[in-house]
């Protein structure tokens, strides 16, 4: 079945298999930031934004992408021109192994787009479905708070 | 947060630079093992045993092989039998050779029966379903007590295993090390205390499960791209298991999605290699989360008993520590984890003159235990620090003061350093840096120790209490661990740093770049780090035993000093001055006499193209000369719901001395992360098994690791000391933080409600039943 969707602003017309997950499709299309940590929707490493909402792509069917706007971490910024959220994760030391990072950043992006002034507790609530085994979460919360501050200062594009 | 001391002025060391691999990681670049697409790669999958203990009577793969797309099926009948250990450790290997790639006997639910390679996931899955295996089910041994009972089934009865302590009695390893006369000293001590603490099956749960791709390069050599902590041990062990010359194997370690010890094991690499060799095609294998739980590795479940004897003044006289370790179906790391239960704990309280550490690591028909952050010390400290709390109460002494009276100090030693090493004798050493007194003082202050302890504050059903614990670890394995580094100068004055050291998410590439940059007088962006590839980087044992900053860091420092000398020679010729008069800093060589200078770019260009042309480069090695312990003090406040038994950690303060923190923010991150894993151990985590040995909770839904809302904001404080043997004064930080939460939380629960929790995790059921049996 051929579907249409927008991936990081670029139209896509991929052939999808029945039963194929959104995770598999996105990785097949080269979006390797979409990580499989469990395959059962428990860890959040595969989180992507579908029409602005954080979705666990490992338990979503690829066909559900039809007509949607999907953003993966590749769509946020680049090494030479990172998004302020990505910059904040670096500044705060919020990245250890980096495997949960794509999902964390996208969940934070969703949070800050609807709520630019969260408390640390609200940040923790937003990332509660994204597991990190390295950091103990503190520096991830710091990063999101820093990015929120930058957003309020108008440093987001 | 770092407490400042008057440290030497340094440009790069001590700075929170961006992680060198950070920009690519936060942008989601394809850095991890499975992010590389290898055209034509087959999907490899493993058939796991459904029985805890069984003989394979017959295996019929004909129906599976007939499935379109199935390329190869391997099992005991068509693969040579080569006993080995999966433990990625140095040589000679201290773990028994009790494993083969595929055996006729299966020893736990999840053991490897066969491996399939097929052109698609679906074909591979169908093949797994269609392999017909006839098992003769054997009686299974599901606890250490059953395993040690007379007449117990023998788990390793194969004749070709080597290095098992007593296979007939299911004992993989045993240790008994006395110092002085502990029994007499205990009997004569006016005050004694005893604690027995137990840790269940715990899994590392790196968010990236084990995975590997095996393929062939243009010359037909086997390339193994793998998520590993130990690339050079992978090469050595795969060469043995596949009977290939080591020179025909290249192991590539890309970015790793966490390991915590689970990836100090050679599990999937030989299987992928064997499938690739048999089919002549690339093969990728990715463990599912369920397989990660059941068929990778776990922490050694353990029961540790500590007996303490002390004088009335609180001076320890005797410590007897006994450990009963469950190594599961195979003995990987069995001896060394067991040894570390004693070797990493007993030196902390060196005022005790009479010591004994003894224990056994026992086979059972349960999942395979291996290396896990803390490596036995975590189990040992749980019992030791709970026993210290009990002793303090019996002495009528503040537990903080008991620690202060007995802990090791600068200039002191412990006979244990020499008596217990990694599966053999250790090496004597004195402690040259120890900021534990400061750690204890600061931690006590932050938690309000004097104010809050024994206060028994109540709010409705919630009872509050505070607890503490201390711990130490090591920095690498003395005389065994070797790391090497190569530094090559580019003609523009930048450098390549090639290390076998294995950054698995810890940030070691950044730390090593900082060490090189500091020594070479450049900023970190002038040092391009490459780790690790057995074809291109020099040897390093890999990332374990808290070794990288110290051991690999010393190698980097030596190489950098050599390169620095070479740079000064070239600059001396260019400036026509003596090298002794020259100084290298901020990207240039300056004469202290004349003030004239050349830039590093000038030096690189001159050496490469102009005069006396040569490559400025050096390789240096370091064998851990000592293993300086990092120290830590842990303080926490808990709230216990006396109606439900729920325990909440309200505050957690971890104060650590890791020497000079090369990258303070990363060091804090190690401490925070280790503490949160420890809180997980204390409150949530436990693999549960059915009566037939099947793990019943192999998923994140059923095996709970802490989420962001389950843990408090851990306050991690670094108290610097200057370790004279370390690179720029550094020691390790990776492991020590996981040793504190279990005892500190248990002690805090005691302070809150007067019950001793000695079996982890402290679930509401256990807390409530302890509360009821106390009041009942």
CATH, residue B279: 3.90.1170.50
ipTM for the predicted complex: 0.98
In this complex, which of B25, B206, B708 lies closest to A101 when CB atoms are compared?
B25
In a domain? residue B97: yes
How close is the nearest chain B Cα to the Cα of A3, in Å? 22
Cα B639 to Cα B388, B445, B547, B649, B769: the distances in Å are 22, 19, 36, 6, 17
Contact (Cβ atoms closer than 8 angstroms) between residue A82 and residue B28: no
pLDDT value at residue B4: 45
Does the structure show a pLDDT above 50 at B2?
no
Read off the pLDDT of residues B625-640 as tens digits, 9 standing for 90 and up.
899 999 999 999 999 9
Give the single-character DSSP code of A144. H
Does the structure show a pLDDT above 50 at B6?
no
Q: What is the dihedral of CA B91, B92, B93, B97, to 10 degrees?
A: 130
In a domain? residue B714: yes
pLDDT value at residue B9: 73
In a domain? residue B516: yes
Same domain, B491 and B557: yes
Disruptive mutation site among A136, A138, A139 for chain B (greatest number of B CBs within 10 Å): A136
The residue among B399, B552, B398, B414 whose CA lies nearest residue B472 is B414
Domain boundary among the residues B597, B623, B649 is at: B623
Region of B523 please: left (phi>0), alpha (psi -120 to 50) or beta: beta
* Cα gap B760→B686, rounded to integer Å: 8
Give the single-character DSSP code of A87. H
pLDDT value at residue B624: 87
Q: What is the mean pLDDT of residues B188-196?
A: 98
The residue among B371, B321, B313 whose CA lies nearest residue B348 is B321
Q: How confident is the model at residue B776 (pLDDT cuts 50, 70, 90)?
A: low
Question: Counting beta carbons within 10 angstroms of the beta carbon of residue B368, is it exposed (0 to 12), middle (13 to 18) or buried (19 or more)?
Answer: buried
Domain with B458, as residue range(s), is: 432-470+629-776
Does the structure show a pLDDT above 60 at B490?
yes
- A 30-69: CB under 8 A from B: 31-33, 35-40, 42-43, 45
In this complex, which of B25, B207, B506 lies closest to A133 when CB atoms are compared?
B207
pLDDT value at residue B422: 82
pLDDT value at residue B5: 42
* Cα gap B3→A72, rounded to integer Å: 39
Neighbours of B493 (CB within 10 A): 20
Residue with tokens 């000592």: B626
The residue among A96, A126, A121 whose CA lies nearest residue B673 is A96
* Cα gap B420→B402, rounded to integer Å: 25
Does the structure show a pLDDT above 50 at B590?
yes
Does the structure show a pLDDT above 80 at B91?
yes
User: What counts of helices (H) and strands (E) characterise chain B?
Assistant: 20, 29
Same domain, B639 and B613: no
Read off the pLDDT of residues B15-39 as tens digits, 9 standing for 90 and up.
999 999 999 999 999 999 999 999 9
* 3 state SS of B169: helix
Contact (Cβ atoms closer than 8 angstroms) between residue B459 and residue B611: no
**Subunit contact B23:A45, Cβ cutoff 8 A:** no
Tell me the percentage of chain B whose pLDDT exceeds 90. 97
Question: Counting beta carbons within 10 angstroms of the beta carbon of residue B352, is it exposed (0 to 12), middle (13 to 18) or buried (19 or more)?
Answer: buried
Q: How confident is the model at residue A21 (pLDDT cuts 50, 70, 90)?
A: very high
Query: In terms of DSSP H, where are the helices of B725-775?
Result: 741-753, 764-775
B497 contact partners, CB below 8 Å, separation of at least 6 = B485, B486, B487, B512, B513, B516, B527, B528, B529, B530, B556
Read off the pLDDT of residues B64-74 as tens digits, 9 standing for 90 and up.
999 999 999 99
* Cα gap A80→B612, rounded to integer Å: 38
* 3 state SS of B749: helix
* Cα gap B350→B348, rounded to integer Å: 6
Structural domain boundaries of chain A? Answer: 5-75, 84-152
- A 88-127: CB under 8 A from B: 89-93, 95-102, 105, 120, 123-125, 127
In a domain? residue B10: no
CA B85 to mean position of chain CA atoms: 18
Same domain, B458 and B591: no
CATH number at residue B482: 3.30.365.10
How close is the nearest chain A Cα to the Cα of B455, in Å? 28
Strand order across the beta sheet in which B54-60 lies? B105-106, B54-60, B132-137
How close is the nearest chain B Cα to the Cα of A95, in Å? 7
Same domain, B740 and B770: yes
Q: What is the mean pLDDT of residues B181-198?
A: 98
**Subunit contact A101:B23, Cβ cutoff 8 A:** no
Nearest residue on chain B to A94, alpha-carbon basis: B669
Residues facing B324 on adjacent strands: B303, B360
* Cα gap B498→A12, rounded to integer Å: 40
Same domain, B658 and B739: yes
Same domain, B661 and B681: yes
CATH 3.40.50.1820 fits A5-75, yes or no: no
A21 chain-B contacts, CB cut-off 8 A: none
pLDDT value at residue B89: 96
Cα B592 to Cα B493, B589, B595, B690, B760: the distances in Å are 21, 10, 6, 74, 62
Q: Are strands B302-310 and B191-199 parallel, antiparallel or unpaired?
A: antiparallel
Does the structure show a pLDDT above 60 at B643?
yes
**Subunit contact B669:A128, Cβ cutoff 8 A:** no
A144 chain-B contacts, CB cut-off 8 A: none
pLDDT value at residue B774: 81
Same domain, B526 and B643: no
For the domain A84-152, what is the CATH code? 1.10.150.120
In a domain? residue B704: yes
Same domain, B523 and B444: no
* Cα gap B736→B738, rounded to integer Å: 6
* Cα gap B96→B103, rounded to integer Å: 16
In a domain? residue B193: no
* Cα gap B568→B452, rounded to integer Å: 59
The number of folded domains in chain B is 3
Question: Counting beta carbons within 10 angstroms of the beta carbon of residue B450, is it exposed (0 to 12), middle (13 to 18) or buried (19 or more)?
Answer: exposed
Structure tokens at B575: 């400036």
Structure tokens at B59: 């295996």
pLDDT value at residue A157: 72
Same domain, B494 and B586: yes
* 3 state SS of B752: helix
Q: How confident is the model at residue B475 (pLDDT cuts 50, 70, 90)?
A: very high
Contact (Cβ atoms closer than 8 angstroms) between residue A37 and residue A131: yes
Read off the pLDDT of residues B602-617 as tens digits, 9 standing for 90 and up.
999 999 999 999 999 9
In angstroms, the first-to-last Cα distance of chain A is 37
Nearest residue on chain A to B504, alpha-carbon basis: A97
pLDDT value at residue B775: 66
pLDDT value at residue A90: 98
Q: What is the mean pLDDT of residues B241-249?
A: 98
Domain boundary among the residues B295, B313, B343 is at: B295
Residue B599 φ/ψ, nearest 5 degrees: -80, 165
Residue with tokens 């499709």: A25
pLDDT value at residue B131: 98
- For chain B, the average pLDDT equals 97
pLDDT value at residue B423: 76
Same domain, B569 and B635: no
Same domain, B685 and B550: no
CA B224 to mean position of chain CA atoms: 22
In this complex, which of A74, A96, A138 lies closest to B28 when CB atoms are compared?
A74
Nearest residue on chain B to A48, alpha-carbon basis: B28
Same domain, B649 and B678: yes
Structure tokens at B38: 């290898």
Nearest residue on chain B to A106, alpha-carbon basis: B26
Disruptive mutation site among B24, B207, B710, B734 for chain A (greatest number of A CBs within 10 Å): B207
Domain boundary among the residues B241, B274, B295 is at: B295
Nearest residue on chain B to A95, alpha-carbon basis: B22
Q: How confident is the model at residue B378 (pLDDT cuts 50, 70, 90)?
A: very high
Give the single-character DSSP code of B87. B
**Subunit contact B665:A93, Cβ cutoff 8 A:** yes
Q: What is the mean pLDDT of residues B404-424?
A: 94
Structure tokens at A21: 């997950």
Read off the pLDDT of residues B344-373 as tens digits, 9 standing for 90 and up.
999 999 999 999 999 999 999 999 999 999
Does the structure show a pLDDT above 60 at A109?
yes
pLDDT value at residue B688: 98
In this complex, which of A39, A77, A136 lies closest to B673 when CB atoms are compared?
A136
Cα A110 to Cα A5, A113, B532: the distances in Å are 19, 5, 36
* Cα gap A39→A21, rounded to integer Å: 10
In a domain? residue B105: yes
Q: How confident is the model at residue B424 (pLDDT cuts 50, 70, 90)?
A: confident
In a domain? residue B750: yes
> What kind and span of H or E run contains B151?
none
Query: In terms of DSSP H, where are the helices of B344-488?
Result: 377-395, 399-406, 415-419, 436-447, 449-452
């Amino acid at each position: 079945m051929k579907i249409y969707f927008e991936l990081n602003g670029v139209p896509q017309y991929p052939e999808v298999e029945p039963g194929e997950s959104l995770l598999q499709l996105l990785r097949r299309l080269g979006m390797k930031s979409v990580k499989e940590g469990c395959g059962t929707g428990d860890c959040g490493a595969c989180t992507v934004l579908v029409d602005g909402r954080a979705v666990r792509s490992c338990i979503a069917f690829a066909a559900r992408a039809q007509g949607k706007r999907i953003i993966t971490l590749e769509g946020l910024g680049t090494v030479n021109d990172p998004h302020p959220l990505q910059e904040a994760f670096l500044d705060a030391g919020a990245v250890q192994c980096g495997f949960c990072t794509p999902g964390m950043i996208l969940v934070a992006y969703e949070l800050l787009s609807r709520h630019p002034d969260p408390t640390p507790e609200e940040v923790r609530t937003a990332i509660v479905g994204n597991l990190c085994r390295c950091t103990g979460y503190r520096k991830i919360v710091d990063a999101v708070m820093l990015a929120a501050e930058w957003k309020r200062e108008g440093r987001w594009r | 947060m770092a407490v400042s001391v008057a440290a030497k002025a340094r440009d790069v060391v001590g700075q929170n630079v961006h992680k060198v691999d950070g920009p690519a990681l936060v942008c989601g670049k394809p850095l991890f093992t499975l992010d590389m697409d290898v055209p034509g790669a087959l999907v490899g999958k493993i058939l796991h045993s459904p029985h805890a203990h069984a003989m394979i009577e017959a295996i019929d793969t004909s129906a599976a092989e007939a499935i379109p797309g199935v390329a190869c099926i391997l099992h005991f009948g068509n693969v040579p039998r080569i006993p080995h250990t999966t433990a990625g450790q140095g040589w000679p290997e201290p773990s028994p050779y009790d494993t083969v790639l595929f055996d006729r006997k299966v020893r736990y639910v999840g053991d490897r029966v066969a491996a399939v390679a097929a052109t698609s996931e679906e074909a591979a899955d169908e093949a797994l379903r269609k392999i017909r295996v006839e098992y003769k089910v054997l009686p299974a041994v599901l606890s250490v007590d059953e395993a040690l009972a007379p007449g117990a089934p023998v788990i390793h009865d194969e004749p070709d295993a080597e290095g098992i302590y007593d296979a007939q009695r299911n004992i993989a390893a045993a240790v008994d090390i006395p110092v002085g006369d502990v029994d007499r000293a205990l009997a004569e001590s006016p005050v004694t205390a005893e604690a027995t603490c137990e840790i269940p099956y715990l899994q590392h749960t790196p968010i990236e499960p084990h995975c590997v791709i095996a393929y062939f390069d243009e010359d037909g050599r086997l390339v193994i791209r793998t998520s590993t902590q130990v690339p050079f041990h992978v090469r050595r062990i795969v060469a043995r298991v596949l009977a290939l010359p080591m020179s025909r194997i290249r192991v590539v370690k890309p970015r790793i999605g966490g390991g915590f010890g689970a990836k100090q094991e050679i599990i999937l690499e030989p299987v992928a290699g064997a499938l690739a060799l048999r089919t002549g095609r690339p093969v990728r294998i990715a463990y599912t989360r369920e397989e990660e739980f059941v068929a990778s590795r776990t922490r050694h479940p353990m029961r540790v008993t500590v007996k303490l004897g002390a004088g009335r003044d609180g001076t320890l006289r005797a410590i007897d520590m006994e450990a009963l370790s469950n190594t599961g179906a195979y003995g990987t790391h069995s001896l060394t984890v067991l040894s570390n239960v004693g070797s990493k704990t007993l030196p902390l309280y060196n005022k005790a003159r009479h010591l004994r550490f003894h224990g056994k690591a026992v086979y059972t028909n349960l999942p395979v235990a291996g290396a896990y952050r803390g490596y036995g010390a975590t189990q040992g400290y749980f019992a030791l620090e709970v026993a210290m709390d009990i002793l303090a109460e019996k002495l009528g002494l503040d537990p903080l003061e008991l620690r202060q009276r007995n802990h090791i100090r600068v200039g002191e030693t412990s006979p244990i350093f020499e008596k217990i090493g990694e599966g053999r004798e250790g090496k004597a050493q004195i402690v040259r840096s120890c900021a534990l007194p400061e750690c204890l003082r600061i931690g006590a202050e932050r938690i309000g120790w004097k104010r809050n302890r024994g206060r028994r504050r109540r709010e409705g059903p919630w009872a509050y209490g505070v607890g503490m614990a201390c711990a130490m670890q090591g920095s690498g394995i003395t005389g065994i661990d070797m790391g090497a580094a190569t530094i090559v100068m580019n003609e523009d004055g930048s450098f390549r740093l090639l290390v076998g050291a294995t950054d698995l998410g810890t940030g070691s590439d950044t730390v090593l770049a900082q060490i090189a940059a500091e020594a070479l007088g450049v900023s970190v962006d002038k040092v391009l780090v490459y780790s690790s590839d057995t074809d291109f980087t020099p040897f390093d044992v890999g990332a374990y035993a808290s070794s990288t900053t110290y051991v690999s860091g010393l190698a980097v420092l030596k190489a950098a000093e050599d390169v620095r000398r070479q740079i000064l020679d070239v600059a001396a010729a260019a400036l026509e001055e003596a090298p002794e008069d020259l100084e290298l800093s901020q990207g240039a060589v300056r004469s202290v006499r004349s003030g004239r200078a050349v830039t590093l770019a000038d030096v690189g260009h001159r050496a490469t193209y102009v005069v006396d042309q040569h490559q400025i480069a050096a390789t240096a090695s370091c064998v851990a000369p000592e293993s300086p312990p990092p120290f830590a003090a842990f303080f926490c406040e808990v709230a216990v719901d006396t109606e439900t038994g729920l325990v909440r950690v309200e505050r957690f303060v971890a104060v650590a001395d890791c020497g000079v923190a090369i990258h303070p923010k990363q060091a804090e991150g190690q401490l925070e992360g280790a503490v949160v894993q420890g809180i997980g151990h204390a409150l949530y985590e436990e693999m549960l098994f059915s009566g037939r040995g099947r793990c019943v909770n192999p998923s994140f839904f059923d095996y709970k690791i802490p989420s962001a809302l389950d843990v408090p904001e851990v306050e991690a404080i670094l108290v610097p000391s200057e370790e004279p043997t370390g690179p720029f004064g550094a020691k390790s930080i990776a492991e020590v933080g996981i040793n504190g939460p279990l005892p500190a939380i248990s002690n805090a629960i005691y302070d809150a409600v007067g019950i001793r929790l000695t079996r982890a995790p402290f679930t509401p059921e256990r807390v409530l039943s302890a509360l009821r049996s106390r009041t009942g």
